Structure 1
Amino acid sequence: MNITKENIDELNATLKIKLEKEDYEEKVNNVLKDYKKKAKIDGFRPGKVPMGLVKKMYGKTVLAEEINKILSESLTKHIIDEKLNILGEPLPSIKEQAPIDWDNQTEFEFAFDIALSPEFELNLSKRDKVTFYDIEVGDDLIDKTIESHTKFYGTSEKVDVVEDNEILKGDMVQLDKEGKVLEGGITKEDAIISLQVMKDEKIKKSFVGANVSQIITFNIKKAYPNATEISSMLGISKEEAEKLDSDFQFTIKEITKFVSGEVNQELFDKIYGAGNVKSLEEFRAKIKEEIKKDFDEQSNYKLLIDVKDKLVKKTKLALPDEFLKRWLLLSNKELTQEMLDKDYDNFQKDLQWQLIKDKIVKGHEIKVTDEEILEEAKKVTMQQFRQYGMRNLPEEQLENYSKSILEKPEDKRKIADSRLEKNIIEFIKETIKVENKEMTFDEFNKLFAN
């Protein structure tokens, strides 16, 4: 076997592999001997099929399969041994590959196109500037968070009179055009209606001041234009609900009012654990700290986008685009030419950024430790639990959940990659000039408008 590399240009090359009979003959013969033992052919006892017949039936297929295995193993080994920094995977060469005569050839030459990673220098200094957007945490945001907490820990209470946005349970009866109970019409016991989602304000006001046992007549389609809501409320099909446009009589049986939780020590303890927060001032300070951490994460994400754009423009990395487009189409069966043309610029930019990150990681020995991966997993875990209002997770439980996430190789890889990117950004922030700019959250969101 002989492997040679022929450079086409700085980004493209061809690997040629020459195979002689001794490179594959033994492997092919061993496979055919195994076929001979197992072959079941009419007129022959098991294991007694003539080798000539076996070769005639399976020889070409086995030859192609074994040579393909040799090619795959040889290409991989050669790329590693020669430390070739390639992009994508080797592809059979369209221009260099000669036709193969599997029936008569004993020596073969195969040509593969490869894409070479561009060589480049990356010089970062304080002359490179980027902005870190320092988002202010205003009192209004703290107030909204407190309101969200009180609603989460609120309770439902039975009341006697409708005041505003209560939930009502009662019996619903369809009426005819004269306002009388429609014979054979729709009835629903213990129907639930929510005044909060009722669309018609006039109808909504007709409920205000009503008490248990009072009867309210209203047009259900005006109150709830959404057929899906009516379908659920009356226990009928959506098709029936869409055709419905009559008045209903609703007899109130129960009035339930949602009452937000009070801002007191009990609420502090539920959110942050017993005794960790002891006053409203400490409560607001804790909330502000949490919001600030979340904002800093978003600011770092924006910084990442800006650094990526800046360094991609600065390096101006050329890529073997023709090869990459061909490789993307061949390696992804669901990708169409139209989709590729539309998304290639984004792929190109992402690949350039990946090459820049690899350069930084190797050049400055940036790594991710097991402790950092676990720390990152804890952040992911806490974000998941916070969605359900669980903010005071014991450290032991938090660590156990985090370790269980890391048991899945794919999840661990994603978390490790995320942490590595953060370490890269921290290195870049220390190396280039970062200018802080204070702004409100609304102003920050406008940065993403375009």
Structure 2
Amino acid sequence: MPNVVREEIDNLNSVLTITLEKAEVENKLKSELAKYREKAQMKGFRKGKTPDGMLRKLYGKGLLADIVNDSLQRQLYDHIIENKLEVLGQPLPSENHPEVDLDPIQVTDYIFKFDLGLAPEFEIKGLDASSVYEKYAVEISDERVEEELLKARKRFGKRIVSEAEIQAEDMLKLQLVELDGDSAKEGGIEHNFSLLLDNAEDGAKAILLSHKVGDTLKMDVFALEKDRDEDFVRRYFLGLEKEDEREINERVFQITIEEASRIESAEMGEEFYNTYFGEGRVSNEEEAYAAIRKDYGQFFDQQANALLFRDLQEKLLEENQLPLPGAFLKRWVLASNENATPESVEKGFESFTKSLQWSLIRNKAARQFGIQVTEDDLKAYFANRVLSYFGGQLNDMTLINGMVERLLQDEKQVDQAGDEVLLDKLQAAINAVVTINLKPIPEEEFVEIIRQAQVEAQTQQAEADILGEEE
């Protein structure tokens, strides 16, 4: 049997020496060569009678390499599992160990050395009531609730056409005619298009609001809508194809207001309540305001929980500064990522080690709290995701279950879902044992804090990308 010997360099580094004995390797090689001999048809030899020496020259090196690699992998990982070693990264061939010559003609004992980087042993500090955190409690103003309800009523309202009056949020249907002096240009441009007054330049908007449906006026079409370049105006206002390169010498065109329409807000009643809030959830205006406040509160509470978890993570990292086998990890990143360079590894190493330390703390905390992610957890997670695709209004369980089953077949999706479920459970467990004080905060201030947190997260992701990590 192969011998495996572990030498502990320190608490974070070990060297495994694996010896593959000549007799076992030779027996496996002979067995594989025998299989080839049965199939081989070589000129000058009957089938199954090819000499051993010739088979070794033709196929021996590749077969020997496969035998050695398979045996090494098995012995290496069996040792790690049997001894419950928490290995960081993957084992690496020792740098100073000489290259092994695999000669199928003269099989011998083979000795290989592998460096292991080990996770530190530690107990988590900071998971008790003496650890105090603040969680934002966002104050939702009456004005915000009123604004959201008005938006909802607009979204489910009906479009009506005005006979004359034009209002600030109207959609206008306009007819454009190219001019030659004060008259329509013969063979000139004529085109119909729509304009949302909210998108119009301030000056153009004021002019249009001073007129009514049916009026004809002259306007600079290139100064009609905000943030539109000449290409957009030619394509959508003038109706010119991309290939049409005719020169437009005059910016002023004749415009006729053919129609003005607007969304009339849905009436506050059963039809609107059931459509927007869901069947039977709301039956009057007071309940509508309460439902919007609750939904907004849940939305902000999710973000506040995310910020709280960030603070938990940072404090746990601060209180549990775990040592790591730095030199080994730098070698491993270089060896496992063809895009990495010594310079890029150094530049992103601090971010990388912080992420690794958090993974160790997170996983130990999950074991400590007995947290597991079950198949039912994943199904519930994916079911909620599917419902979100349909705005939470899908009642077809056959369709939902079918989409969930397809998502469960996607390994990458399952891994991502498992991580998110684990973190949700972990946060709930940590929240239950630490002290959390609520801190009221106006919505505007909270939104700015979220914006800054997103910028920081993007910066951290950029640093991680330096090492070629795919998050």
TM bracket, shorter-chain basis: 0.7 to 0.9
Partners of 2:175 and 2:256 within 8 A in 1: yes
Residue pair 2:193, 2:236 contacting (<8 A) in 1 also: no
Measure how far apart 1:313 and its partner are: 0.7
| Residues 242-257 of structure 1 mapped to structure 2, 5 A cutoff | 246-257=251-262
The residue type equivalent to 1:174 in the other structure is: E
Matched, 1:298 2:290: no
- Corresponding residue for 1:163? 167
Residues 292-323 of structure 1: per-residue CA shift (max 9 Å, x gap) = 22222111111110010001110110111222
Q: What letter corresponds to residue 305 of structure 1 in structure 2?
A: R
Asked if residue 17 in structure 1 is aligned to residue 22 in structure 2, the reply is no
Give the superposition deviation at 1:211: 4.6
CA distance in 1, matches of 2:51, 2:321: 64
| Residue aligning to 1:151 | 154
CA deviation string 1:69-117 (max 9, x = no partner): 221222121111111111111111212x212222355221111111101
1:343 corresponds to which of 342, 348, 359:
348
Given the superposition, is the C-alpha separation of residues 212 and 429 from structure 1 closer, same or farther in structure 2, using an over 3 Å criterion?
A: closer
**Counterparts of residues 48-447 of structure 1 (less than 5 Å):** 50-95=51-96, 97-103=97-103, 104=106, 106-123=108-125, 124-161=127-164, 162-175=166-179, 178=181, 180-182=183-185, 185-188=188-191, 190-199=192-201, 201-224=202-225, 225-227=228-230, 229-230=232-233, 231-236=235-240, 246-386=251-391, 391-394=392-395, 396=397, 400=401, 403-404=404-405, 407-408=408-409, 409-447=411-449
Listed as ranges, the gaps of 5+ residues in structure 2 are 454-471
Secondary structure (helix, strand or coil) at the match of 2:75 reads helix
Q: Distance in 2 between matches of 1:90 and 1:125?
A: 36
Whether the aligned pair in 1 keeps the contact of 2:219 and 2:252 (CA below 8 Å) is yes
Whichever residue aligns with residue 169 of structure 1, its letter is: K
Q: For the Cα contact (< 8 Å) 1:13–1:115, is it kept in 2? A: yes
Give unmatched runs, 5+ long, in structure 1. none
Does the Cα contact within 8 Å between 2:387 and 2:400 map onto a contact in 1?
no
SS of aligned partner of 1:191: strand
Cα distance change, pair 402–441 in 1 and its aligned pair in 2 (3 A): farther
Q: Which moved more, 1:238-247 or 1:144-153?
A: 238-247
Partner SS, residue 18 of structure 2: strand
SS of 1:118's equivalent in the other structure is coil
2:224 and 2:332 mapped to 1: Cα distance?
A: 57
Distance 1:379 1:75 in 2: 42
* Superposition deviation, residue 185 in structure 1: 4.5
Amino acid at match of 2:354: K
Instruction: Kindly indicate whether the alpha-carbon contact (under 8 Å) linking 1:158 and 1:255 is maintained by their aligned counterparts in 2.
Output: yes
**Greater shift in the superposed pair: 371-380 or 411-420:** 371-380
| TM superposition score normalised by structure 1 | 0.86
Q: Which moved more, 1:215-224 or 1:166-175?
A: 166-175
Instruction: Flag the 1:383–1:228 CA change in 2: closer, same or farther, 3 A.
Output: farther
* Cα RMSD after superposing both structures: 3.1
CA contact (8 A) 1:212 1:252 kept: yes
Identical columns (%): 31
- In 2, distance between residues paired with 1:61 and 1:433? 62
CA shift, 1:45, in A, is: 7.8
Give the structure 1 partner of residue 467 of structure 2: none
Superimposed CA distance per residue, residues 386-424 of structure 1 (whole angstroms, 9 cap, x where no aligned partner)? 3xxxx4443847963774465334433433322221222
Structure 1 residue 216: Cα displacement: 3.2
Rounded to whole Å, the distance in 2 between the matches of 1:101 and 1:254 is 86
Q: TM-score, normalised by structure 2?
A: 0.83
CA contact (8 A) 2:369 2:429 kept: no
Partner SS for 2:200: coil
Tell me how far apart the structure 2 counterparts of residues 173 and 30 of structure 1 sit (CA, whole Å).
Answer: 89
Tell me by how many angstroms 1:64 deviates.
1.6
1:381–1:398 Cα contact (<8 Å) kept = no
Query: For residues 157 and 335 of structure 1, what CA distance do their matches in structure 2 show?
Result: 61
Q: Is the 8 A contact 1:272 1:392 kept in 2?
A: no
Cα distance in 1 between the residues matched to 2:158 and 2:341: 54
Output the CA distance in 2 between the equivalents of 1:159 and 1:27.
89
Q: 1:119: Cα distance to partner?
A: 0.6
Pair 1:44–1:242, CA change in 2 (3 A)? farther
Indicate the SS of the match to 1:262.
coil
